[in-house]
Amino acid sequence: MVRRVAVRALFAVILSGTGGFHAIARAQATTTAASEPADAAIQADVTKALDNKRFHNVAVAVQGGIVTLTGTVEIYSEKEDADKKVHHRKNVKGVENMIVVAGPVVEDATLRDKLGEKLAYDRVGYGTTAFNALTIGVQSGVVTLGGVAYGPMDKDSALSVVANYPGVKDVVDNIEVAPPSPMDDRIRIAEARAIYGFASLNKYSIDPAKPIRITVVNGNVTLSGVVDSQSDKDTANIRANGVAGVFKVINNLQVAGASSSAK
């Protein structure tokens, strides 16, 4: 009973001469009216920031400081760039990026092969791809990158290669970056010398797109890539295990022409 009386008293105050619901409605209308010029200013600022032929098919809408981007671009990196430009504008509270990448449609298997080739020759860091072991998955133009990169520069470079390739509709970043470690750096160099410096394995240093990949995380070494024979796989394993300071070697090398069950 006391609760009902309190509720009735509250409604009485709301509906009293202080303005009641009408006062609330007026306050809301005033707030909305005040926000409209701010939104208009944001829209003008964002539109100016996107004044580039790359974004000529992009439309901008603003409500309550939230910017919604719609329309189309030719490559995925342009969608990313538009998002970054808008986020950096004054008074923007958030961005809804609904831009569609409308560039060429590339069959998934073809896109994966092309991207694999591009990434294989992407030389950063040590100037070699041997210390990066990246994986690529493609489904309906959406590219998922995984695996381990030597450092942030290697990761960023790989993402840039993919984002700027025609046919990529979206990018999922699952790449791990190996933690910085002087000990791991020493092991990487020692492993490269032990493996590539051996006569029968030297051939894998000739083509930078087809190395024996060496990833090192906290003293644990993983070998990956494709070799010509089981003998090469076994030799690489022996050489890798012979490096001082290595805790464990995981040999994921595949033998060309062998089934996955025979690895």
Q: What is the CATH number of the domain that holds 235?
A: 3.30.1340
Instruction: Confirm whether 26 is domain-assigned.
Output: no
Domain that holds residue 158: 108-177
Q: How far apart are CA 20 and CA 26, in angstroms?
A: 10
> Do the domain assignments include residue 21?
no
30 in a structural domain? no
In this structure, is residue 7 part of a structural domain?
no
Within this chain, do residues 71 and 134 fall inside the same structural domain, yes or no? Answer: no
Which residues are CB-neighbours of 3 under 8 A, at least 6 positions away? none
Per-residue pLDDT, 208? 72
Residue 201 has pLDDT above 70, yes or no: yes
- Per the rule left: phi > 0, alpha: psi between -120 and 50, beta: everything else, 173 is beta
Q: Give yes or no: residues 122 and 137 share one domain.
A: yes
In 10 A of CB 196, how many CB atoms?
A: 20
The model's pTM is: 0.78
Helix (H, G, I), strand (E, B) or coil at 22: helix
Last residue of a domain, one of 177, 194, 225: 177
Average pLDDT of span 106-112 = 97
- Please give the single-letter amino acid code of residue 144: T
Where among 147, 177, 207 does a domain terminate?
177
pLDDT of residue 237: 97
Q: What average pLDDT does this structure show over 142-163?
A: 95
- pLDDT above 90: percentage of residues in the chain: 74
193 and 247 assigned to the same domain: yes
143 inside domain: yes
Using an 8 Å Cβ cutoff, are 217 and 148 in contact? yes
Last residue of a domain, one of 177, 201, 220: 177
Residue type, 91: N
> Does 22 fall in a domain?
no
Domain assignment of residue 228, yes or no: yes
Tokens (6 digits) for 3: 């609760």
Span 225-245, mean pLDDT? 96
- Alpha carbon distance 111, 143 (integer Å): 9
> Side chain identity at 146, as an amino acid letter?
G
Q: For residue 19, what pLDDT is reported? A: 52
Q: Does residue 26 have a pLDDT over 80?
A: no
CA distances from 244 to 62, 128, 166, 184, 190 (A): 60, 22, 45, 11, 8
pLDDT at position 180 over 70: yes
* Residue 170: CATH number of its domain: 3.30.1340.30
Same domain, 193 and 171: no
- Check residues 112 and 32 and name the one with the higher pLDDT: 112
Phi-psi region of 64 (alpha: psi -120 to 50; beta: other; left: phi over 0): left
Same domain, 194 and 161: no
**One domain for residues 83 and 127:** no
Instruction: Give me the count of residues in the chain.
Output: 263
Q: How many domains does the chain have?
A: 3
Whether residue 142 sits in one domain with residue 90 = no
Find the mean pLDDT for residues 124-138: 79
Residue 257 inside a domain? The answer is yes
CA distance 51 to 67: 16
Mean pLDDT of 99-120: 94
d(C-alpha 3, C-alpha 15), whole Å: 18
Least trusted range by pLDDT, from 135-149, 156-170, 176-190, 203-217: 203-217
